[in-house]
Chain A
Amino acid sequence: MPISTLWSMSSSRMLLYFTSRATTLSMETSSSFQQLGMQQTLEPPRQQLSCYKCSTTGSDPGKDPGKAAGSSGGSGIGKGSVPMVCSTPCGNPYAGLVSHLRASWLSGKTRPMEYRVAQLEALGRFLDDKKQEILEATELDMGKPSFEAFFSEILLCKNELNVTLNNLSQWMKDEHVDKNLVMQLDSAFIRKDPYGVVLIIAPWNYPIQLFLVPLIGAIAAGNCVVIKPSEISKSTERLIAETLSCYLDNDCYAVVTGGVPETTRLLENKFDYIFFTGSPPVGRIIMTAAAKHLTPVTLELGGKNPCYVSDTCDVTNVARRVAWGRFFNAGQTCIAPDYLLCTVEMQEKLMPALREAITEFFGPNPRESPDFGRIVSDKQFQRLRALLGSGRVALGGQTDEAERYIAPTVLADVLPSDPAMQEEIFGPILPIVVIANMDEAIDFINARPRPLALYAFSCDSKIVNQVLERTSSGGFCGNDTLMHMTLPSLPFGGIGNSGLGKYHGKFTFDTFTHHRGCLHRSMGLETLNSPRYPPYTQQKMGLFTSTFEVRRRGTCTLL
C-alpha cells in the first residue's frame, strides 16, 4: 500500500497536519482520548497504563498497574515496578513504557497458557462488545460498508482468534525431534519461547484486522506488546486507544498513538520483534531502525498485484470476482488485483461483463450504494484522481472531492508507461493492459517487482498452473481474488518488494516465537562420548563417524 502512514508526506505538510489535528482534538476536551493523546506526546507514557473507566467488567488477571509486574514467580528480575529509566533527560518519551513492559515480561507472567488464553478471550469480548463501535468507526474513517467491515474486520479476526484458542495448547508444546545414535538416551526438542517485548505497527486500510491478527499471535506466543495503530484512520485509532486497555492487562499490552515523529521516537527503543504493515519505503525505514538493535522484523508491504485473464473463461464470473476484489473497501486493499492483463478480444468481452457486475453490486449509481466505500484522506483522493488520465475511462470515472468519492472505474488500453502503472493504485480504479498472449503476460509480471498476490483466471487449469509456476509472488489465487487470505491455514506474506515474513493462523504464532533448539543429555554412559574427546586416533574417528553420520536410506546397516 502506498503511503499508508504519514511518512512520505513532506515535513511542512506533516506539521500542518499535526497542528490541525491538535486543534480538533483540543475542541473535544471531554473525551478521555484527549487526555491519552496529549499525554503521549508531552509526558512520559507511564500514566497511560492506567485503565480507562468503562462499562465492561473484564475479569482479567493482574489488571492493577505496577503491582503485578513482580507478583508472579519467575526469574526474580523486575521485582516491583521498574523505575522509569531515562524518562525525560535523555529524551525518549517511550523508554519508561518499554522498560515497564520488559519488566513484566521478565517476571514471567505472560508465559503460562492460562494467562494467554485469558487475554485472548478478552480480545474476543472486545470484538463482541465493541462490534457496533468498530462498524461506526470504520464507517467514519472511510465509509466502510458494514458488510465489508463485518467480514474483514470482525469475522476474519474472530476466525483467527478461534483457530488460535483451539490450537494454542498444541502449538505451545515442546516439539520432540528425531535423534541420532549417540543421543538415543537424551531428550531433544524445540521449545517455543516468546521473544519478549514486540511492536506492532498497523496501517489504516483495515485498521482493526491488521493490528488485531498480529496481536492475537503475539499474545498467544507469550509476548508483551506495544500497539501503534495508524493515525490516519482517526476514529478507529481513538476506539483502540480508548477501549483496548479495558480488556487487556495493562502491564503487558499498551497502545501508543501518534504520527511520524512519535513513531520515530518509539522506534529508537529496543524491541525484540517488530511487525509492520505498510508501504515499502516505510518498511525500509523500519528495518534500518530495527538493525540498530538487531531486532527481527516482519514487513507486510504492498505492490501492484497482477491479474491475468486468459481467453478461455467464463467472462461473467471473472468480471464478478475481479470487481469484488478490486472494489472491496473502495480498492484500498493490499492484495486487491491492481491491474488486468488480457488480450484485446478479452478486453472487449470483459467490458460489458464488468459493467454488469458493478451495476449488480452497487446499483446504477454507486455513490448512493451503502455497499461502496470512500477514500480515506484528501491526499489519497487527489493522488487517485490524477491516475484517471491513464488510458481511456471505459467505466465510471466520476469523482466527488467533498465526499472523497471515486466511482468504480475501469481504464482500458492502459500503457505500461502510464501513471496508473507506476505505483500501487490502492483505490477503486482498474486499469487493463493489453498483451498478446500468456507468455507476454508472464514476462510482463516477471519484469516487475514481485507482488504480494497474483491472480490468474482460466477454464484451463494448465494455464493457471503455468502462470503459477513461472512467476513469483507472496501468494497466489487461481480463478478468484482475495480468497487465499481468508484461510488461516495458508501463510500470508510478501516476497522481495512486497515484504518479508508471513502470518495468519499458526504462522502468526510462529512469527512471534523463538524456536529454541534444546537437547537434554544424560550424565551417564560417558564411554559413549569418549570418541569425541582428544587425543584423537584413527579408531576414534571410525567410531565417531558411525554414530554421527547421517546415511542415505538403504545404506544404513546399523539401525
Chain B
Amino acid sequence: MQNMQQIVGQARAAFSSGRSRPLEFRIRQLKALERMVQEKEKEILAALKADLNKCGPNANIQEVLGVLGELALTMEKLPSWAAPQPVKKNLLTMRDEAYIGYEPLGVVLVIGAWNYPFVLVMQPLIGAIAAGNAVVVKPSEVSENTARLLAELLPQYLDKELYPVVAGGVPETTELLTQRFDHILYTGSTAVGKIVMAAAAKHLTPVTLELGGKSPCYIDQDCDLAVACRRITWGKYMNCGQTCIAPDYILCHPSIQGKVVENIKATLKEFYGEDVKSSPDYERIVNQRHFKRVKSLLEGQKIAHGGETDEASCFIAPTILTDVSPESKVMEEEIFGPVLPIVTVKSVEEAIEFINLREKPLALYVFSNNKQLIKRVVSETSSGGVTGNDVIMHYFLSTLPFGGVGHSGMGAYHGRFSFETFSHRRACLLRDLRWELLNKIRYPPASMEMMHLARLLLVKQCSRSRVAQFVSALLVALKSVVAKVSFGSLLSL
C-alpha cells in the first residue's frame, strides 16, 4: 500500500508553497490537461474499451468530448470567475472596500466511479485545479485499465506533487479517508457516501457527494410516443444502463404501456440492429458481481423484451419489464443495468405521489405535450435535476449545476459550479483607520440617540439616491458627538 500520509503530506506542502494560487499556473495546468486528452486520446479510448467495451464514438461522446468542453469553458472563464466580487455596502462602510474573494480550499480529494471512469475523475479535477487546490485523485479500481492509465498519464502532464494519483481498492480508500482533506468529492453509491461523510466529519471536511438513486421517468398520455421512446431508449441503454442519471423506471398509464414497449423495441432495432450482442455500439456490464446482481432483478418479472444474458462476456440484452409491482426487488434498488421496468399509474397525481413516497432521485424525467403538466410535476416533486421531454441532457449543459439532493447526494458541480465547490468565498472588508467620528456611534457608553443612528446607518442599504439621507445622518452624528463631548466636559467639571 502506498503511504497515504506521505502522499497527502506532500500535496499539502506543495499547496502551502503557494504555487498553485496564481491564475497563470492554474491555466497552464489546465492546458497541459487538454494536451494530455488530445495527445493520448487513443490510449484513453483503448482503456475504456477494455473496461466497459465502450466503442470509439461512444466513449468519445460520453467521456472525452465532455472533458474537452469543460476544459475550454474553464480556461476561458476562469479569470472572471476568480475575480473578487464587490458587494453592496451600508452607510457605515460606504468608504470601505467590501468584496468576496475566491480562495482555494487546500488539499482536495476526488474519488471517481467506474461507470464513466474518465470523465467522472477529470471533470471534478478540472474544477479543483481551476480553484487553485492541490488534488489527490483516486480513480475507481473496478475500471482498472482507466485507473492505471490515469496514474500513468496525469504525472506526465501535471505537477507531480500537487496532483498525486492514488491507486487501490477499499483498504486503500479507507486509509486515505483517515487523512485530513479540505474538501472531498465522491461519486458512487449511497451506502459508501455515508461512510465518506462520516469519515469527513472527523476532520470537519466539507463534502460533495454525487450518488445515484432511482430516477423516475413519467410519460404522459398526451405525448409523441415515438420521439419520447427514442430519447428514453438512448438514455437508458447507453453504457449498458450503467449511468447514474439514466431513467431507472417508467411511470405511465396502463393504456399506453403496450405502445411504449412497441416503440422502445422498434428503436432498439434501429440503434443496435437485429443482433444486439454483435453491435459495436452496445456495452457490457462491468464485472461478474454486477452481472449477477442485475440478472437477479429479472427473476419473477414479466419480460416484454430482451432478457437474454451471457455470463462469460457479462452481456445482458436491453430488457423491458411490464406491469412491475412497486414492491418488487427491481423497484427497491437502483438498477444500474439495461433493465427498464414499467410501473403503471392511473394519473399524474398518482405518479407524483409515487415519486414523493420514495427517496429523492438524482434526475427526474417527464414527457408531455402539455407544458403545464411538466411544470406541475417539477413543482410538486424534488430531485437533483430535471429534463422535460428528454433524458440525460441537463447533464450536458455546463451552465446548470449537476448534483443530487437527499439520498442522491449533496453539493453540485460542472462549469462555474465546480469552481465554486472547490473555492472558499472569503468575506473581505477593508476599512479605513481614520474617520473615527463615524464609528463612535457603536462604542459604549451607549445612548438612545446613538441607537437610532446605528439603525439608520446599518439598516439602509447604500444607494446613490440616499445621499441626502447620508448627509442628514452625518449631521445627526455630529450633533450627538457634540452633545457627548459637552456632556462629558460637564461631568468632568
Task: Give chain B residues whose Cβ lies under 8 Å from the Cβ of A180.
Answer: 396-397
How far, in whole Å, are A202 and B56 apart by their CA atoms in the complex? 55
User: Given A517-B394, A534-B279, does the pair A548, B65 have CB atoms closer than 8 Å?
Assistant: yes
Q: A188 in the interface, Cβ–Cβ < 8 Å?
A: yes
Task: Encode contact with A along B9-45: 1 for CB under 8 Å, 0 otherwise.
Answer: 0000000101000000000000000000000000000
Most A CB contacts (10 A, CB to CB) among B273, B401, B427 go to B427
By size class, the interface of chain B is 35 or more
Partner of A196, one of B56, B88, B382, B394: B382
Asked whether, in the complex, the Cβ of A155 is within 8 Å of the Cβ of B411, the reply is no
Contact partner of B281 (CB less than 8 A), chosen from A291, A360, A520, A535, is A535
- Chain B residues with Cβ under 8 A from A549's Cβ? 65, 68-69, 72
B321 at the interface (CB under 8 A from A): no
Q: How many residue pairs bridge A and B at CB < 8 Å?
A: 328
B205 to chain A, nearest CB (A): 8
B407:A294 contact, CB within 8 angstroms: yes
Chain B neighbourhood of A156, CB < 8 A: 458
Task: Indicate whether B188 reaches chain A with its CB closer than 8 angstroms.
Answer: no
Q: A301-B204, A487-B87, A550-B69 are in contact. Are A518 and B98 (CB under 8 A)?
A: no
B57 contacts the other chain (Cβ, under 8 Å)?
yes
Q: Are B204 and A324 touching (Cβ within 8 A)?
A: no
Contact of B356 with A476 in the complex, beta carbons under 8 Å: no
Are the CB atoms of A487 and B90 closer together than 8 Å? yes
Q: Is B216 an interface residue (CB 8 A)?
A: no
Taking a contact as CB atoms under 8 Å apart, the answer to whether A484 and B72 are in contact is no
Question: Chain B residue with minimal CB distance to A146?
Answer: B446
Report if A284-B451 is in contact (Cβ < 8 Å); known contacts: A517-B394, A541-B60: no
A145–B446 contact, CB under 8 A?
A: yes
B147-155, B222-230, B286-294, B325-333: which lies at the interface: B222-230
A552-B390 Cα distance, complex, nearest whole Å: 28
Residue numbers in B under 8 Å from A487 (CB-CB): 87-90, 93, 98, 427, 429
Task: Determine if B428 and A468 form an interchain contact, defined as CB atoms under 8 angstroms apart.
Answer: yes
How many residues belonging to A are interface residues under a CB distance threshold of 8 Å?
A: 122
Choice from B65, B204, B371, B382 contacting A287 with Cβ under 8 Å = B204
B234 at the interface (CB under 8 A from A): yes
User: Which positions 431-486 of chain B face chain A at CB distance < 8 Å?
Assistant: 431-434, 436, 439, 442-446, 450-451, 454-455, 458-459, 461
Residue contact A296 to B204, C-beta cutoff 8 Å? no
State whether A478 and B353 are in contact (beta carbons under 8 Å apart), knowing that A159-B458, A552-B76 are contacts in the complex: no
Report if B81 contacts A (CB, 8 A). no
Contact A519 B397 (CB under 8 A): yes
Report whether A472 and B444 are in contact in the complex, using a CB–CB cutoff of 8 Å. no
Q: Which of the 9-residue segments B108-116, B136-144, B372-380 touches chain A? A: B372-380
CB neighbours (8 Å) of B190 from chain A are: 294
Say yes or no: is B158 at the interface (Cβ < 8 Å to chain A): no
Contact of B433 among A158, A317, A446, A474 (CB under 8 A): A317
| Contact between chains at B384 and A516 (CB < 8 Å) | yes
Which residues of B are found within 8 Å of A171, using beta-carbon distances?
A: none
Identify which of A283, A296, A479 gathers the most chain B CB atoms within 10 Å of its CB.
Answer: A296
Q: Kindly provide the distance from the CB of B363 to the nearest chain A CB, expressed in whole angstroms.
A: 9
Contact indicator B204/A318 (Cβ below 8 Å):
no
Taken together as a complex, chains A and B put the C-alpha atoms of A548 and B396 apart, in Å, by 8
A371, B445: Cβ atoms under 8 Å? yes
Cβ 8 A contact of B204, one of A283, A313, A526: A283
Complex alpha-carbon distance, A459 and B202, angstroms: 41
**B296 surroundings in chain A (CB, below 8 A):** none
Tell whether A479 pairs with B433 under 8 Å between CB atoms, given A147-B446, A523-B223, A523-B389. yes
**Of B223, B271, B385, B433, which one neighbours A534 at CB under 8 angstroms?**
B271
A436 to B211 CA separation, bound complex (whole angstroms): 50
Cα A371 to Cα B65 in complex, Å, equals 64
CB–CB A296/B411 < 8 A: yes
Tell me how far the C-beta of B440 lies from the nearest C-beta in chain A, rounded to whole angstroms: 9
Q: Give the docked Cα–Cα distance between A418 and B406 (Å).
A: 45
Nearest Cβ in chain A — how far from B325, in angstroms?
20
Contact yes or no, B427 A490, CB < 8 A: yes
A354 within 8 A of B: no
CA distance A177 to B356 in the complex (A): 27
A483 to B443, alpha carbons, bound, how many Å?
Answer: 13
User: With a CB–CB cut-off of 8 A, which chain A residues contact B349?
Assistant: 75-76
Q: In the complex, A257→B259 CA distance in Å?
A: 57
A485 to B424, CA, bound (A): 16
B393 touches A519 (CB 8 A): yes
CB-based nearest B residue for A273: B410
Whether, in the assembled complex, A193 has its beta carbon less than 8 Å from a beta carbon of chain B, the answer is yes
The answer to whether the Cβ of B127 comes within 8 Å of any Cβ in the partner chain is no
Could you tell me the distance between the alpha carbons of A178 and B432 in the complex, rounded to whole angstroms?
A: 40
- Answer whether residue B73 sits at the interface, using C-beta atoms and an 8 A cutoff: yes
Residues of A within 8 A of B442 (CB): 151, 324
Q: Give Cα distance in the complex from A551 to B407, angstroms.
A: 35
Would you call B451 and A535 a contact (CB within 8 A)?
no
A483 touches B429 (CB 8 A): yes
Q: Are A501 and B353 in contact (CB under 8 A)?
A: no
| Set of chain A residues within 8 Å of B170, measured between Cβ atoms | none
The answer to the question of B409 belonging to the interface, with a C-beta cut-off of 8 Å to chain A, is yes
B55 within 8 A of A: yes
- In the complex, are the beta carbons of B399 and A188 less than 8 A apart? yes
Task: Judge if B173 is at the interface, Cβ distance under 8 Å.
Answer: no
A72 smallest CB distance to B (angstroms): 11
From residue 239 to 271 of chain A, which have CB atoms closer than 8 A to chain B?
Answer: none
Closest to A481 in B: B431
Q: Given A74-B380, A496-B182, check contact A533 B271 (CB 8 Å).
A: yes
User: Nearest 7 CB-CB pairs, A to B?
Assistant: A147-B446, A517-B400, A536-B57, A371-B444, A287-B201, A291-B197, A489-B87
13 new A-B contacts, CB < 8 A, other than A472-B426, A496-B204, are: A177-B397, A291-B194, A296-B411, A470-B18, A472-B106, A474-B427, A477-B428, A484-B428, A486-B458, A490-B100, A518-B386, A521-B387, A549-B65
Residues on A lying within 8 angstroms of B by beta carbon are: 74-77, 106, 108, 111, 145-148, 150-151, 155-156, 158-159, 162-163, 177-180, 183, 188, 190-191, 193, 195-196, 272, 280, 283-284, 287-288, 290-292, 294, 296, 299, 301, 313-314, 316-318, 320-321, 324, 360-363, 369-372, 446, 457-459, 461, 464-465, 468, 470, 472-480, 483-487, 489-492, 495-497, 499-502, 514-523, 526, 529, 532-538, 540-541, 544-545, 548-553
5 pairs, A vs B, C-beta closer than 8 Å: A75-B353, A294-B193, A491-B425, A521-B388, A521-B393
